[in-house]
Amino acid sequence: MLRRAFLTVRSRLTADDLRETEAVLADRALELPELAQAHTVAAYVSVGSEPGTRALLDALHARGVRVLLPVLLTDNDLDWGAYEGEGSLAPVQHRGKMALLEPVGEPLGPDAVLSADAVLLPGLAVDARGMRLGRGGGSYDRVLARLDGAGAHPALVVLLYDSEVVDRVPEEPHDRPVHAVVTPSGVRHFR
């Protein structure tokens, strides 16, 4: 029910709201030391009314940062591909899901995320402890487990709307807090 409530609020946003928020989020995120100093960032292409990532992806790419984007596998795990600008994406329709924009180049393998200095995680909310509420598919739980298993410790960052920073979200034993949340009104670090 909590996920549905956040998605309902997002569904009321206009195209103008989404465009304005995307630009502000990119500016704020680019000020983060975790992204300013990164050589490789694992990110994602926002869909629907998610906080927009395209402006941020383009800005990171223009800076010479290696940007990795997910390719959804049939078991909901993620492979990765390199983002080389807008022309390097194509819509992919996944069974029972909405179409996602994914990189068209050679897949780099699920372990490519281990090279990331920062990982941008999609989410629906984050709480005062930095615990993230995802969409419930488990893809990014696998990514976080892969990072933990390899002893990799990239900065974990989530982009959200202001109303999605809340007091508390439910957590599972495998959940891991993020290091920072970027919203239109600012950046908050955890830990």
Binding residues for ATP: 132-140
CB neighbours (10 Å) of residue 64?
7
Beta bridge partners of 93: 99
- Per the annotation, where are the binding residues? 45, 50, 132-140
Query: What are the structure tokens assigned to 177, written together?
Result: 């807090």
- Per the annotation, where are the binding residues for substrate? 45, 50
CA distance to 87, 142, 180, per residue, from 121 (Å) = 23, 12, 10
Spatial distance between the Cα atoms of 158 and 25, rounded to a whole number of angstroms: 11
Spatial distance between the Cα atoms of 155 and 135, rounded to a whole number of angstroms: 20
Spatial distance between the Cα atoms of 51 and 182, rounded to a whole number of angstroms: 10
H-state helical runs in 32-172: 33-36, 54-62, 139-150
- CA dihedral 134→82→76→162, nearest 10 degrees, is 10
**Strand order from edge to edge, sheet including 125-127:** 132-133, 125-127, 165-166
